[in-house]
Structure 1
């Protein structure tokens, strides 16, 4: 593994089924640029410029300039990076430049916020996504990808793999449902804008995404597990760990979103997952201890009394055949994903 595992990942994507040369001389607008997905998209496109002289201009939508300066410290002098400061859903987005493509991953992703501010979570998702759809129509973009989530499927207890045509149960009496239900509404908005305005918009239903490139603020369960074994500590579960997870490696997800911009069918949704990366939370914790522990660590269950916002247990296995049929291929299994995540976290001292 190279000294910089993230740049090694970017090189692999550049040498993959994604024909990045098709983005040459294009202007690409990315929301949520200080989040995991958004930041990696920005960094990859700027790296592709360096390696292949593609002259891609990246418009990175941010809320906080100071935060953006820290995340993109290595790119602040890059003339191909343009920051756009705006607050999603508040109609303060102003940009006169010509745009060719939009990717919209910005959303509330912290479970604690979904519980403490469900109204804000819904407004950010629905109002923000409609704002971006209007923006895409106004700028007459060639294509837009809306980054949705596997949580739109709700709760499943099926042994069959879940395809894009399936929908499970979402409990509308639970405030935590603000996230999956608002994601469903955003997908419907995409369909409506495609029908009514002819917008070439596609939907990517991302599995949980992790690997090299996670940010210092990352505290989702995969990062907690990795930090525990790096520090030689037990992995502590705050649930029984029965919920089944579907995962995809960071570089594979970035490749999928750009691949869908070029190859996805209008108004269609695509699962972005690695079917081999499917296991319960408990199984994942045990795998991390087994493969990366320093000898004495174990998995401990400590369930808190208060509700801290975890999604309800679900049992589903995402089918990725629709996306794969277009030519996309995932590359990293769970062990490889964790190996590269841990390497990155040590490298960045996270």
Structure 2
């Protein structure tokens, strides 16, 4: 490994940027090629809500995704202070957990969520109402209002997933580029890479859906998000609203801004958000907090998530010596740190990571304050 000093990475999204920073930090000569312009990021990581929410995803995702997500909860608090030191950019990492709620008409969805948690051994009803460190607690209406006073009081119960987190991805990606550059990484934006240069000792393909010619089994899954701003409504943690057709989530992004995501469409269409999707998202906003009816719409955004048939990530050593990392689907921020760990342990990449403890209910370590930058049917 010590003789393999030149690294070429295709793709400057989340995975490619993390790898560029970690490898450059270990003394490698790193080049990154990205098809999009630097001032017009096009990766799914840029559009994402950037939640690290393994418990929320447990009933929807493969058990491997849940296990990797628990590892990432341990690794993000290790990575972000180092990134702050290397880039000078403090990236907010929210660690107050997330809430899962449902409209009164959709209580069957919440009951199914509870059953899935209990059958998975993740939630014990005996822990409800106790002042303890249980990873998951069921809350009544009063406790929901205590945690998030701006929530609609019609939301009568929910779950607090105490160890879940979220990242300010709009600060994270530039910080990763800055940190990688500080160690000599060269970025070539507006430059698609179809063939890796022969001088590269390590070749990493992190192009997401851009790698489809090399991975024909890859498909794009359309996702749509809405950005809003509200000076009046203060919500401090991600909120998921369960619905029979879709699960919606609202994530605080600082400076009174929030991102709402919901749609998951089996399509590689990148056209603007449809009227139907917009109405569903706006209805969900009103359901979560009627005061958000006065929020200002900043923009709608669309992107494609790279997915494989089983919605699990894939690290594939190809015949031409290229190591492909792909298929993160809508779990990029949930999976990326754990995939770094896997690349170090199973594929010999020197990334300078400490072993991450695993344990289904272990809380993630807090990040020092200096690494933090800033703090359906409509409900009637």
Please state which band the TM-score falls in when normalised by the shorter chain: 0.3 to 0.5
Per the normalisation by structure 2, the TM-score is: 0.30
Larger radius of gyration: 2
**Structure with more contact order per residue of length (Cα contacts < 8 Å, sep ≥ 6):** 2
- More helix per residue: 1
